[in-house]
A and B are shown apart, each in its own frame.
Chain A
Amino acid sequence: MDFSIAVLLAQDGVTNGAIYALLSLALVLVFAVTRVIFVPAGEFVTYGTLTLASLQLGKSPGTVGLLVGLAGLAGAMEVYAAARERTWHRLPRRLAIYLLVPLSIAALVHLLAPLTLALPLQILLSVAMVTALGPLLYRVAYQPLAEASVLVLLIVSVAVHLAMLGLGLWYFGAEGSRTPAFTSASYRVGDVQISGQSLLVLLFSLLVIAALYVFFGRTLYGKALRATALNRVGARLVGISPGLAGSLTFTLAASLCAFSGVLIGPITTVYYDSGFLVSLKGFVGAIIGGMSSYPMAAAGAFLVGLLESYSSFWASAFKEVIVFTLIIPVLLWRSLTTHHHEEEE
C-alpha cells in the first residue's frame, strides 16, 4: 500500500465515519433521554435518501402516506387521552403538534413534489418530512411504554424497525437510488484526489455536532433534555414532561438521521434495507462512547469508519469480521478505564 492509497482509504473512512458519527449521536441522545435503543435509526436514514430520490424524479414519496397515517393515529390517541384524563384544555396544543404540523408538511411535500424544485429546497423538504415522522413515532409506539424496561423498549424498537423496513420496500421498491452530488468539485493535493462531496459531508457533520453542543449547552430546551437524561423523576418534579422530552428527542434524532441520509445519498446507492447495518455501526460507536458521552461516541464512529475502509482493502471477504472483532480490544480498554455506576432495571 503506498501513501496515496492510504490517504484515499483514510478519506473514505472519515467520510463514512462522519455519517456513522451523526447516527451514533442520535442513538446516544435517544438512549439518554428515553432509554430506547433506537434501532429504526437506519430506516430514518434510508427514508431520508429515498424520499429525496423520489422528489428528484418529481414523484410524491410514499412516506407522505405514512406521515398522514401516523398523524391521524397520534391525533386519535391524544383525543382519547384527553377524554379519559379530562384534560381537554391541553388538547388544542397537542393536536397542533401531532396533527396539524405533520399534515401541513405532508400536504406541502405532496403539492410541491411534481414541481422538481431546486436541490436545496428538495433537501429541505425531505429532511422536514422524515423529521416529522420522529415525534409521531414516539407518540404512537414508545410513549405508551415509557416506563417499561430497557429490554422491552429494545424489542419494540426492533418491531418498529421491521415495520418501517417492510413499508420502505413497499414505498421505494427493492432497487436502490442515488441522489445527485452537492458539488462535483474535486481538489488535488499531491497525487491525491479529494472529492468536494467528502469534504462537504465532513463539514456538515462537524457543523451539526457543534450545533448540538450549543443546543445542549446554551438553550433552555437543550438543558431541559439534559436534565431529563440525568434524572427522569427530578425532571418531572421541575415540570418537564417526559412525553414532551421524548417527542423533542425523537424530533432531533430523526432530523439527524434524515440529514445523514441526505449526505450519504450522493456517495453510495441506498436501498430500502441499507439502514440496519449503517445504524449498527453507529451503535458500535455509541457503545464505545458508553451510551452517554457524545464526543466519545463520535470518536468511536470515526474509528469504525476507518477500520472498515482499511479492512476492505486488506481482506474484503472478512471485512465485517475484522471490523467487529477489532472492536473487542477497544471495549476492553474502555471498560478498564471508565468507572461504571451500577445500573438498575
Chain B
Amino acid sequence: MKKSGVALGLAALAVCGLARADINVGVTLSATGPAASLGIPEKNTIDMLGSPTVGGQKIHFIVLDDKSDTTEAVKNTRKLIGEDKVDAIVGSTVTPNSLAMKDVVSEAEVPMISMAASAQIVNPADPRTRWVFKTPQNDSLMADAVAVHMRASGAQTMGFIGFSDAYGDSWLAEMKRSTQTAGIKIVAEEKYNRNDPSVTGQVLKLLAAHPDAILIAGSGTPAATPHKELIARGYKGKIYQTHGVANADFLRVVGSDGNGAVLPAGPMLVYEQLPDSNAVKASAAEYVKMYEAKYGPGSRTTFGGHAWDAYVLLQRAIPEALKTAQPGTKAFRAALRDALENAKNVAGSNGIFNMSAADHNGMDNRARVIVRIENGKWVLSK
C-alpha cells in the first residue's frame, strides 16, 4: 500500500515536471574501527559541506558509519538505496568494503564514488565497474613514484614493511610490479598490525637484509612505530612512507625520527609550496582553507580531500544530469553516471580528474608530489 502510494506520488511528480526538494547522496565510511583515522577526516569533510546547493538543487548527505567492516558497508549501501532512495553513493573508506559494495550498486544502478585506494575497485572496465568511480590516486600511481625516486637516489635494494591488511597487501603487490620496472630488488617483506606493541622482530629482520631503502606501508600514526624502531636500531638508509601517513598526528608521534623520510602525497598536503602555475594549487587551497578554518590549523589530511573530491565530481556532474531527468528517478541516476564518466578537467584537492569509459579514476601524474619530512613539517621535494 505504502509503496504503491509512494510510487504514485513519484509518478505524479514526474508528470507535472515539478522539481523534488533534494538530491540525496548516501555516504558510508569507516568512522570507527581500524580505519577510523582515515574515515574521520572524510566524515568531517562531509559535515563541513552541510547541505550545499548545486544546479539549483539542495544536496542532502546521509552519512552512515560502516565500522571498517564489509558486512556493515554492504548493509549501509542497501539501506541508503532501499530506504533513503539516494541518487549517488560516496564510500567506502577502505578497499574491501568498496569491492563488496560494487555488486550492490551495479544491480541497483546507483553511481558510487569510492574513497579507497586500490585500482581493483574500478578496473577492469566491465559491467561490474560501470557504476563505480573513485577519487584517490590509484596506488599504482603512488608506487611508481616511490620506485622512481628510490632509483634516482641510487637504491638498488629495498625492504618492505606494511600493515597486515588490505592497505599493506595492495602496496606490496604494486611495489613488486613497479620495482621490477625500476630495477630494484625487494630483499625483505615484513608485516605488522597497527596495534602491535612492538615491531622489533620485523625491524631486526629487515636490517639483517641490509636494504638501501625501506618502505613503510601503513596509515596514520601506526606507521611511525616501525619508523622509530628503525631509527632506534641505527638504520642509515632512506626511509619511505606512503601518503597514508599524511596527517599532523603522524608528525607529532614520529617526532625528530621522521627527519629526511620521503613520501608520495596528494598536492594539497603542501599546496602553499606549489608554484602558482600548478593546476591543482587553487582547488587544493580552497578545500584546505575551508577545512582548517573549521577543524584547526594543520588538521588537513589527504583522506579528507578524497571526500571533497567526490563532492567536486558530483558538483560537476549534477547540473549535467539535471538537464535530462529529475532527482530520485532511475533516469537521473543513469544521467549522473554518464555525466561522471564524461567529467573532464575537474580540479579536485588531490589532482585533476579526466574520466572516461576506460578510466573511472581519471587522475594523472599531477595528482602526486614527492614530500620530505623536515623538522616536523612537510616539505615539497622539487
Given known pairs A175-B247, A176-B221, A316-B192, the reply for A16 and B201 (CB within 8 Å) is no
B193 touches A269 (CB 8 A): no
Q: Identify B204's interface contact among A178, A308, A313, CB under 8 A.
A: A313
CB pair B201–A174 under 8 Å, yes or no, is: no
B202–A268 touching, CB < 8 Å: no
Q: If A268-B225, A271-B221 touch, does A9 touch B204 (CB 8 Å cutoff)?
A: yes
A271 partner, pick from B194, B198, B202, beta carbons under 8 A: B194
Q: Which residues on B sit within 8 Å (CB–CB) of A311?
A: 201
Q: Is the CB of A273 within 8 A of B201?
A: no
Q: Does B200 contact A (CB under 8 A)?
A: yes
Please choose the segment from B4-12, B21-29, B32-40, B135-143 that sits at the chain A interface, where 4 or more of its residues have CB less than 8 A away: B32-40
On whether the beta carbons of A175 and B37 are closer than 8 Å, the reply is yes
Interface size class of A (residues with CB under 8 A): 35 or more
Is the pair B222, A312 in contact by a Cβ cutoff of 8 Å? no
Whether B195 and A274, one on each chain, are in contact in the complex, defined by CB atoms closer than 8 angstroms, is yes
Is B331 in contact with chain A by the CB < 8 A criterion? Answer: no
Query: Bound complex: CA of A175 vs CA of B201, how far in Å?
Result: 24
B222 lies within 8 A of A313 (CB) = no
Give the complex CA separation of A314 and B201 in angstroms.
8
Tell me which residues across on chain B come within 8 A of A15, comparing CB atoms. Answer: 198
B197 to chain A, nearest CB (A): 5
* Choice from B192, B194, B197 contacting A264 with Cβ under 8 Å: B197
Q: Which residue of B lies closest to A318 (CB)?
A: B191
Q: What residues of A have a CB within 8 angstroms of the CB of B205 in the complex? A: 313, 316
- A174, B200: Cβ atoms closer than 8 Å: no
**B164 CB contact (under 8 Å) in A5, A8, A175, A317:** A317
A268-B197 contact in complex given A313-B202, A316-B202, C-beta closer than 8 Å:
yes
A309 on the interface (CB 8 Å rule)?
yes
Q: How many residues of B contact A (CB 8 A)?
A: 33
Interface: A326 (CB within 8 A): no
Q: Is the CB of A269 within 8 A of B225?
A: yes
Set of chain B residues within 8 Å of A9, measured between Cβ atoms: 200-201, 204
Q: In the complex, A12→B164 CA distance in Å? A: 20
Q: How far is the CB of A67 from chain B (nearest CB, A)?
A: 23
Residue of A9, A268, A310 contacting most chain B CB atoms (<10 Å): A268
Do B200 and A309 touch (CB < 8 A)?
yes
Does A118 count as interface, using CB distance less than 8 angstroms?
no
Give the interface of B toward A (CB within 8 A). Answer: 32-34, 36-37, 39-40, 164, 190-202, 204-205, 208, 220-222, 224-225, 247, 249-250, 253
A-B contact pairs, 14 of them (CB 8 A): A8-B200, A19-B197, A169-B36, A175-B37, A273-B33, A273-B34, A309-B201, A312-B201, A313-B200, A313-B205, A316-B205, A319-B192, A319-B201, A320-B193
Interface residues of A (CB under 8 A from B): 5, 8-9, 12, 15-16, 19, 166, 169, 173-178, 264, 267-269, 271, 273-274, 277-278, 308-314, 316-317, 319-320
**Beyond known contacts A267-B198, A269-B225: 13 more, CB 8 A cutoff:** A5-B208, A9-B201, A16-B198, A174-B36, A174-B220, A175-B250, A271-B221, A271-B222, A273-B33, A277-B195, A278-B197, A309-B198, A310-B201
